[in-house]
Amino acid sequence: MRVTPQLDILDTVFISNVDGGQNIPSVVFNGADYIVAFLDARLTKGIVASRVSPAGVVMDTGYTVNDGNNYPAAVPGAGRTLVLWSREFDAVCGRFVDGQAVPQDTVMRIAAISASAARPAAAFDGSNYLVVWPDFGTTGTLDIFGRILIDGTPVDTPMVLVQGPEAENNPDIVFDGENYFLVWESGMGQVRGLILDRAAKPITGPVVLSDTAFHLRQRPAAAAGLGCRFCFWSEYNSDYDIYGAIVHDIGIAAGGMGSPGIITIAPNPFRRATRISAGIRSATQFGGEGSGISIYDISGRLIRSFSLPIPSEGRGLSSPWDGTTYSLLPTVVWDGTDQTGHAVPPGVYFVRLSAGSATATVKIVKIE
Protein backbone atom coordinates (compact mmCIF):
# COMPACT_ATOMS: atom_id res chain seq x y z
CA MET A 1 0.00 0.00 0.00
CA ARG A 2 1.27 3.49 -0.88
CA VAL A 3 0.38 6.49 1.29
CA THR A 4 1.21 10.19 1.21
CA PRO A 5 3.23 11.92 3.97
CA GLN A 6 -0.18 12.87 5.40
CA LEU A 7 -1.11 9.13 5.48
CA ASP A 8 -3.71 9.43 2.72
CA ILE A 9 -3.98 6.11 0.88
CA LEU A 10 -2.94 6.30 -2.77
CA ASP A 11 -3.34 2.72 -3.91
CA THR A 12 -2.68 -0.93 -3.09
CA VAL A 13 0.09 -2.72 -4.97
CA PHE A 14 0.28 -6.48 -5.44
CA ILE A 15 3.94 -7.36 -4.90
CA SER A 16 3.19 -11.07 -5.21
CA ASN A 17 -0.20 -12.78 -5.12
CA VAL A 18 0.57 -16.09 -6.79
CA ASP A 19 -0.71 -19.39 -5.47
CA GLY A 20 1.06 -20.92 -2.51
CA GLY A 21 1.07 -17.95 -0.15
CA GLN A 22 3.55 -15.22 0.69
CA ASN A 23 4.03 -13.53 4.08
CA ILE A 24 6.38 -11.77 6.56
CA PRO A 25 7.38 -8.91 4.23
CA SER A 26 10.23 -6.50 4.97
CA VAL A 27 10.67 -3.36 2.87
CA VAL A 28 13.36 -0.67 2.54
CA PHE A 29 14.00 2.22 0.19
CA ASN A 30 17.44 2.17 -1.44
CA GLY A 31 17.37 5.77 -2.69
CA ALA A 32 15.80 4.92 -6.04
CA ASP A 33 13.36 2.05 -5.54
CA TYR A 34 11.86 -0.13 -2.83
CA ILE A 35 13.33 -3.56 -2.13
CA VAL A 36 10.79 -6.01 -0.65
CA ALA A 37 11.91 -9.30 0.87
CA PHE A 38 9.32 -11.91 1.86
CA LEU A 39 8.68 -15.61 2.44
CA ASP A 40 7.27 -17.62 -0.42
CA ALA A 41 5.58 -20.88 0.54
CA ARG A 42 6.16 -22.26 -2.95
CA LEU A 43 9.85 -22.44 -2.03
CA THR A 44 9.18 -24.17 1.32
CA LYS A 45 9.48 -20.85 3.13
CA GLY A 46 12.10 -19.61 0.68
CA ILE A 47 13.07 -15.93 0.66
CA VAL A 48 12.34 -13.79 -2.38
CA ALA A 49 13.36 -10.19 -3.16
CA SER A 50 11.41 -7.87 -5.47
CA ARG A 51 11.90 -4.28 -6.65
CA VAL A 52 9.07 -1.74 -6.67
CA SER A 53 9.29 1.80 -8.06
CA PRO A 54 8.12 4.87 -6.06
CA ALA A 55 5.14 4.94 -8.44
CA GLY A 56 4.10 1.50 -7.20
CA VAL A 57 5.18 -0.45 -10.29
CA VAL A 58 6.56 -3.93 -9.54
CA MET A 59 9.70 -3.87 -11.69
CA ASP A 60 11.14 -7.26 -10.75
CA THR A 61 8.69 -9.98 -9.80
CA GLY A 62 11.06 -11.79 -7.46
CA TYR A 63 14.51 -13.28 -7.25
CA THR A 64 15.15 -16.24 -4.96
CA VAL A 65 17.65 -15.24 -2.28
CA ASN A 66 17.72 -18.67 -0.67
CA ASP A 67 15.46 -21.63 0.06
CA GLY A 68 14.11 -23.05 3.30
CA ASN A 69 14.44 -20.15 5.75
CA ASN A 70 12.44 -17.85 8.01
CA TYR A 71 12.06 -14.24 9.26
CA PRO A 72 13.49 -12.18 6.38
CA ALA A 73 14.74 -8.67 7.17
CA ALA A 74 15.87 -6.17 4.53
CA VAL A 75 18.46 -3.57 5.56
CA PRO A 76 19.56 -0.75 3.21
CA GLY A 77 23.25 -0.02 2.69
CA ALA A 78 25.58 1.74 0.28
CA GLY A 79 24.38 0.71 -3.18
CA ARG A 80 23.01 -2.62 -2.05
CA THR A 81 20.58 -4.17 0.42
CA LEU A 82 21.38 -6.80 3.03
CA VAL A 83 18.72 -9.50 3.38
CA LEU A 84 18.86 -11.48 6.63
CA TRP A 85 17.04 -14.59 7.78
CA SER A 86 17.31 -17.44 10.27
CA ARG A 87 17.44 -21.18 9.80
CA GLU A 88 15.67 -23.13 12.52
CA PHE A 89 18.14 -24.45 15.13
CA ASP A 90 21.00 -23.75 12.74
CA ALA A 91 22.17 -20.25 11.81
CA VAL A 92 21.57 -16.57 11.14
CA CYS A 93 22.36 -15.96 7.49
CA GLY A 94 22.55 -13.05 5.10
CA ARG A 95 23.00 -12.20 1.45
CA PHE A 96 23.26 -8.93 -0.47
CA VAL A 97 20.99 -7.95 -3.35
CA ASP A 98 21.77 -5.13 -5.76
CA GLY A 99 19.60 -2.15 -6.74
CA GLN A 100 17.50 -4.39 -9.01
CA ALA A 101 16.97 -6.96 -6.18
CA VAL A 102 19.32 -9.43 -7.89
CA PRO A 103 21.18 -11.61 -5.34
CA GLN A 104 24.93 -11.02 -5.18
CA ASP A 105 27.87 -13.15 -4.02
CA THR A 106 27.05 -16.14 -1.83
CA VAL A 107 25.09 -16.72 1.36
CA MET A 108 26.90 -15.59 4.54
CA ARG A 109 26.66 -17.73 7.65
CA ILE A 110 26.75 -14.93 10.23
CA ALA A 111 26.35 -17.05 13.35
CA ALA A 112 25.44 -20.54 14.43
CA ILE A 113 22.33 -20.63 16.65
CA SER A 114 20.54 -23.25 18.72
CA ALA A 115 17.21 -21.38 18.95
CA SER A 116 14.03 -21.69 16.95
CA ALA A 117 12.22 -18.70 15.45
CA ALA A 118 15.23 -16.41 15.98
CA ARG A 119 14.30 -13.12 14.30
CA PRO A 120 17.42 -11.22 13.14
CA ALA A 121 17.72 -7.46 12.59
CA ALA A 122 20.51 -5.11 11.53
CA ALA A 123 21.41 -1.45 11.04
CA PHE A 124 23.92 0.27 8.75
CA ASP A 125 26.12 3.08 10.12
CA GLY A 126 27.23 4.38 6.72
CA SER A 127 30.17 1.98 6.53
CA ASN A 128 29.41 -1.20 8.46
CA TYR A 129 26.45 -3.26 9.64
CA LEU A 130 25.62 -4.43 13.15
CA VAL A 131 23.52 -7.60 13.00
CA VAL A 132 21.58 -8.69 16.12
CA TRP A 133 19.56 -11.80 16.96
CA PRO A 134 18.30 -13.86 19.94
CA ASP A 135 19.88 -17.16 20.95
CA PHE A 136 20.48 -19.27 24.02
CA GLY A 137 23.42 -18.06 26.06
CA THR A 138 25.19 -19.21 29.21
CA THR A 139 22.18 -18.24 31.35
CA GLY A 140 20.08 -21.00 29.79
CA THR A 141 17.58 -18.43 28.47
CA LEU A 142 17.49 -16.31 25.33
CA ASP A 143 20.03 -13.48 25.18
CA ILE A 144 20.70 -10.88 22.47
CA PHE A 145 23.82 -11.42 20.38
CA GLY A 146 25.47 -9.24 17.75
CA ARG A 147 28.16 -9.26 15.09
CA ILE A 148 29.67 -6.49 12.98
CA LEU A 149 29.98 -6.79 9.20
CA ILE A 150 32.84 -4.72 7.77
CA ASP A 151 32.60 -4.26 3.98
CA GLY A 152 29.89 -6.90 4.08
CA THR A 153 32.08 -9.52 5.79
CA PRO A 154 31.51 -10.79 9.35
CA VAL A 155 34.45 -9.97 11.63
CA ASP A 156 35.62 -11.28 15.00
CA THR A 157 33.11 -13.57 16.69
CA PRO A 158 29.50 -13.06 17.82
CA MET A 159 29.28 -11.03 21.04
CA VAL A 160 26.70 -10.97 23.83
CA LEU A 161 24.93 -7.57 23.83
CA VAL A 162 22.17 -8.23 26.38
CA GLN A 163 22.15 -10.97 28.99
CA GLY A 164 19.89 -11.61 31.95
CA PRO A 165 18.17 -14.31 33.99
CA GLU A 166 14.96 -13.91 31.97
CA ALA A 167 14.51 -14.35 28.22
CA GLU A 168 15.54 -11.43 26.01
CA ASN A 169 13.94 -11.78 22.58
CA ASN A 170 12.88 -10.19 19.29
CA PRO A 171 15.47 -7.41 19.00
CA ASP A 172 15.33 -4.49 16.60
CA ILE A 173 18.08 -1.96 15.94
CA VAL A 174 18.52 1.39 14.18
CA PHE A 175 21.45 3.76 13.63
CA ASP A 176 20.59 7.31 14.72
CA GLY A 177 23.42 9.06 12.85
CA GLU A 178 25.86 8.72 15.76
CA ASN A 179 25.09 5.52 17.68
CA TYR A 180 23.01 2.36 17.51
CA PHE A 181 19.69 2.13 19.35
CA LEU A 182 18.79 -1.46 20.27
CA VAL A 183 15.37 -2.51 21.62
CA TRP A 184 13.99 -5.90 22.65
CA GLU A 185 11.23 -7.63 24.61
CA SER A 186 12.06 -8.93 28.07
CA GLY A 187 10.72 -12.02 29.74
CA MET A 188 9.66 -9.70 32.57
CA GLY A 189 6.92 -8.34 30.30
CA GLN A 190 8.79 -5.13 29.50
CA VAL A 191 10.27 -3.45 26.44
CA ARG A 192 13.85 -2.37 27.03
CA GLY A 193 16.44 -0.34 25.14
CA LEU A 194 20.19 0.21 24.98
CA ILE A 195 22.45 2.68 23.16
CA LEU A 196 25.62 1.24 21.59
CA ASP A 197 28.57 2.89 19.88
CA ARG A 198 29.79 1.89 16.41
CA ALA A 199 31.91 -0.86 17.94
CA ALA A 200 28.78 -2.31 19.61
CA LYS A 201 29.96 -1.22 23.08
CA PRO A 202 27.21 0.02 25.45
CA ILE A 203 27.02 3.77 26.05
CA THR A 204 24.04 3.43 28.36
CA GLY A 205 22.76 0.65 30.50
CA PRO A 206 19.52 -1.12 29.61
CA VAL A 207 16.51 1.17 30.14
CA VAL A 208 12.87 0.13 30.51
CA LEU A 209 10.98 1.89 27.69
CA SER A 210 7.54 0.60 28.65
CA ASP A 211 6.26 0.91 32.20
CA THR A 212 7.45 -1.70 34.67
CA ALA A 213 4.07 -3.40 35.13
CA PHE A 214 3.88 -6.89 33.66
CA HIS A 215 1.98 -7.06 30.36
CA LEU A 216 2.35 -9.20 27.29
CA ARG A 217 4.48 -6.92 25.07
CA GLN A 218 5.77 -8.13 21.73
CA ARG A 219 7.84 -7.27 18.66
CA PRO A 220 9.31 -3.85 19.49
CA ALA A 221 10.43 -1.76 16.53
CA ALA A 222 13.10 0.97 16.61
CA ALA A 223 13.30 4.15 14.54
CA ALA A 224 15.33 7.35 14.65
CA GLY A 225 14.94 10.89 13.33
CA LEU A 226 14.61 14.56 14.25
CA GLY A 227 17.16 14.20 17.04
CA CYS A 228 15.13 11.51 18.82
CA ARG A 229 14.85 7.76 18.94
CA PHE A 230 11.51 5.99 18.84
CA CYS A 231 10.30 2.58 19.96
CA PHE A 232 6.92 1.01 19.21
CA TRP A 233 5.47 -2.32 20.35
CA SER A 234 2.24 -4.28 20.64
CA GLU A 235 0.81 -4.64 24.16
CA TYR A 236 -2.05 -6.74 25.42
CA ASN A 237 -4.38 -5.29 28.07
CA SER A 238 -8.02 -6.14 27.32
CA ASP A 239 -6.91 -6.57 23.72
CA TYR A 240 -3.84 -5.74 21.63
CA ASP A 241 -2.91 -2.09 21.18
CA ILE A 242 0.14 -0.27 19.82
CA TYR A 243 2.25 1.69 22.30
CA GLY A 244 5.33 3.80 21.80
CA ALA A 245 8.07 5.80 23.53
CA ILE A 246 10.19 8.75 22.43
CA VAL A 247 13.74 8.27 23.66
CA HIS A 248 16.19 11.14 24.07
CA ASP A 249 19.53 10.57 25.80
CA ILE A 250 17.67 10.05 29.07
CA GLY A 251 19.91 8.23 31.48
CA ILE A 252 22.90 8.38 29.15
CA ALA A 253 26.03 7.60 31.12
CA ALA A 254 29.77 8.06 30.74
CA GLY A 255 32.19 5.63 32.26
CA GLY A 256 32.39 1.97 31.42
CA MET A 257 33.27 -1.34 33.00
CA GLY A 258 35.75 -0.70 35.78
CA SER A 259 35.70 3.07 35.30
CA PRO A 260 36.54 5.10 38.46
CA GLY A 261 33.81 7.65 37.66
CA ILE A 262 30.33 7.69 36.17
CA ILE A 263 27.83 10.41 35.14
CA THR A 264 24.12 10.17 34.32
CA ILE A 265 21.99 13.05 33.01
CA ALA A 266 18.21 13.38 32.71
CA PRO A 267 16.63 14.87 30.75
CA ASN A 268 19.06 15.17 27.87
CA PRO A 269 18.34 17.14 25.64
CA PHE A 270 16.78 19.66 28.05
CA ARG A 271 15.04 23.03 27.85
CA ARG A 272 14.89 24.70 31.27
CA ALA A 273 16.91 22.49 33.60
CA THR A 274 18.51 19.07 33.90
CA ARG A 275 19.73 16.90 36.75
CA ILE A 276 23.35 15.69 36.74
CA SER A 277 24.20 12.70 38.92
CA ALA A 278 27.77 11.49 39.37
CA GLY A 279 29.43 8.73 41.31
CA ILE A 280 32.91 7.45 42.06
CA ARG A 281 34.09 3.96 42.91
CA SER A 282 35.71 5.06 46.16
CA ALA A 283 35.34 8.18 48.29
CA THR A 284 39.12 8.09 48.87
CA GLN A 285 39.54 9.10 45.20
CA PHE A 286 37.70 12.33 45.86
CA GLY A 287 39.19 15.63 46.96
CA GLY A 288 41.76 18.15 45.89
CA GLU A 289 41.52 21.38 44.00
CA GLY A 290 39.07 21.34 41.10
CA SER A 291 37.03 18.37 42.29
CA GLY A 292 33.42 18.62 41.15
CA ILE A 293 31.29 19.05 38.01
CA SER A 294 32.33 21.39 35.19
CA ILE A 295 30.38 22.34 32.04
CA TYR A 296 32.15 23.40 28.84
CA ASP A 297 31.01 24.63 25.43
CA ILE A 298 32.20 23.01 22.19
CA SER A 299 35.23 25.32 22.05
CA GLY A 300 36.39 24.03 25.44
CA ARG A 301 35.52 27.22 27.33
CA LEU A 302 34.38 26.71 30.91
CA ILE A 303 30.70 27.71 31.25
CA ARG A 304 29.76 26.66 34.78
CA SER A 305 31.32 24.74 37.65
CA PHE A 306 29.92 23.11 40.79
CA SER A 307 32.04 22.15 43.79
CA LEU A 308 30.98 18.94 45.51
CA PRO A 309 31.61 17.62 49.03
CA ILE A 310 33.17 14.26 49.77
CA PRO A 311 30.45 11.57 49.48
CA SER A 312 29.56 8.82 51.88
CA GLU A 313 30.72 5.38 50.83
CA GLY A 314 28.13 3.08 49.33
CA ARG A 315 25.35 5.56 48.47
CA GLY A 316 24.26 3.73 45.40
CA LEU A 317 24.56 4.85 41.78
CA SER A 318 24.61 1.59 39.86
CA SER A 319 26.83 1.15 36.80
CA PRO A 320 24.87 0.14 33.67
CA TRP A 321 27.85 -1.92 32.48
CA ASP A 322 28.84 -4.19 35.35
CA GLY A 323 26.45 -3.44 38.23
CA THR A 324 29.13 -1.76 40.35
CA THR A 325 27.68 0.48 43.06
CA TYR A 326 29.33 3.90 42.97
CA SER A 327 29.47 6.36 45.85
CA LEU A 328 26.85 8.90 44.85
CA LEU A 329 27.78 12.58 44.82
CA PRO A 330 25.10 15.22 45.49
CA THR A 331 22.90 15.76 42.44
CA VAL A 332 23.56 18.98 40.52
CA VAL A 333 20.70 20.85 38.83
CA TRP A 334 21.88 22.93 35.90
CA ASP A 335 19.42 25.60 34.75
CA GLY A 336 21.27 26.35 31.53
CA THR A 337 23.03 29.49 32.80
CA ASP A 338 26.69 30.43 32.98
CA GLN A 339 28.67 31.53 36.02
CA THR A 340 27.20 35.05 35.82
CA GLY A 341 23.61 33.75 35.75
CA HIS A 342 23.01 34.49 32.06
CA ALA A 343 21.28 31.84 29.92
CA VAL A 344 23.61 30.09 27.50
CA PRO A 345 22.44 29.64 23.88
CA PRO A 346 21.00 26.33 22.66
CA GLY A 347 23.65 23.89 21.51
CA VAL A 348 26.01 21.11 22.50
CA TYR A 349 27.89 21.25 25.81
CA PHE A 350 30.05 18.82 27.77
CA VAL A 351 29.66 17.85 31.43
CA ARG A 352 32.87 16.66 33.09
CA LEU A 353 33.36 14.95 36.43
CA SER A 354 36.76 15.60 38.04
CA ALA A 355 37.24 13.88 41.37
CA GLY A 356 40.86 13.01 41.98
CA SER A 357 41.54 9.96 39.81
CA ALA A 358 37.86 9.66 38.86
CA THR A 359 36.89 11.38 35.61
CA ALA A 360 34.07 11.06 33.09
CA THR A 361 32.61 13.29 30.37
CA VAL A 362 29.12 13.33 28.83
CA LYS A 363 27.69 15.35 25.94
CA ILE A 364 24.58 17.35 26.82
CA VAL A 365 22.27 19.28 24.49
CA LYS A 366 20.31 22.40 25.36
CA ILE A 367 17.35 23.05 23.06
CA GLU A 368 14.98 25.97 22.62
Q: In terms of residue numbers, what domain contains 270? A: 253-366
CA gap 248, 233 in Å, rounded: 18
Check whether residue 146 and residue 284 sit in a common domain: no
Check whether residue 287 and residue 198 sit in a common domain: no
Check whether residue 242 and residue 260 sit in a common domain: no
Q: Which long-range contacts (CB under 8 A, 24 or more apart) does 12-16 make?
A: 13/52, 13/56, 13/58, 14/58, 15/50, 15/52, 15/58, 16/40, 16/48, 16/50, 16/61, 16/62
Domains contained in the chain, number:
2
Check whether residue 238 and residue 300 sit in a common domain: no
Q: Name the domain boundary from 204, 232, 248.
A: 248
Each residue of 288-307: pLDDT tens digit? Answer: 444 788 898 877 788 999 98
Check whether residue 16 and residue 52 sit in a common domain: yes
Check whether residue 177 and residue 230 sit in a common domain: yes
Q: Name the domain boundary from 222, 248, 274.
A: 248
Q: Name the domain boundary from 228, 248, 268.
A: 248
Instruction: Indicate the pTM of the whole model.
Output: 0.70
The predicted model gives 97-119 an average pLDDT of 94
pLDDT score of 206: 80
Each residue of 118-175: pLDDT tens digit? Answer: 999 999 999 999 999 999 988 889 999 999 999 889 998 999 999 988 899 999 999 9
**C-alpha angle with apex 255: 273 to 341, nearest 5 degrees?**
25
Check whether residue 271 and residue 285 sit in a common domain: yes
